[in-house]
Amino acid sequence: MKALVIVGIQNDFLPGGALPVKGGDAIIPLINKLQQYFDTVIATQDWHSANHSGFASNHPGKEKFDEIYLHGKPQTLWPDHCVKDTHGAELNRMLNQNQIEAVIRKGTDPDIDSYSGFYDNDHLTATGLAGYLKNKGVKEVYVAGLTGDYCVYYTAMDSLREGFKTFIIEDATRSLSREAFDEAMSVFISAGGKCILSDAVINLFCRSEN
Please report how close the Cβ of residue 46 comes to Zn ion at its closest, in angstroms.
Answer: 4
Contact 91, 45 (CB under 8 A): yes
Binding flag, residue 149, Zn ion (CB under 5 A): no
Helix (H, G, I), strand (E, B) or coil at 197: coil
Helix (H, G, I), strand (E, B) or coil at 102: strand
Span interacting with Zn ion, options 10-18, 42-50, 96-104, 198-206, rule CB under 5 A: 42-50
Q: For residues 95-124, which are near Zn ion according to CB under 5 A? A: 107
Instruction: Give the Cα separation of 53 and 69 in Å (integer).
Output: 11
Residue with the closest Cβ to Zn ion?
A: 46
Helix (H, G, I), strand (E, B) or coil at 84: coil
Span interacting with Zn ion, options 40-48, 85-93, 138-146, 152-160, rule CB under 5 A: 40-48
Which residue, 122, 98, 101, 102, is CA-closest to 111?
Answer: 122
Q: What angle do CA 161, 166, 168 make, to 5 degrees?
A: 120
Nearer to Zn ion, 25 or 113 (CB): 113
Span interacting with Zn ion, options 41-49, 91-99, 136-144, 181-189, rule CB under 5 A: 41-49
Please report how close the Cβ of residue 16 comes to Zn ion at its closest, in angstroms.
Answer: 17
Using CB under 5 A, pick the residue from 12, 25, 46, 149 that binds Zn ion.
46
- Look at phi and psi of residue 128 and say left if phi exceeds 0, alpha if psi is from -120 to 50, else beta: left
Binding flag, residue 12, Zn ion (CB under 5 A): no
List residues near Zn ion by CB under 5 A: 46, 107
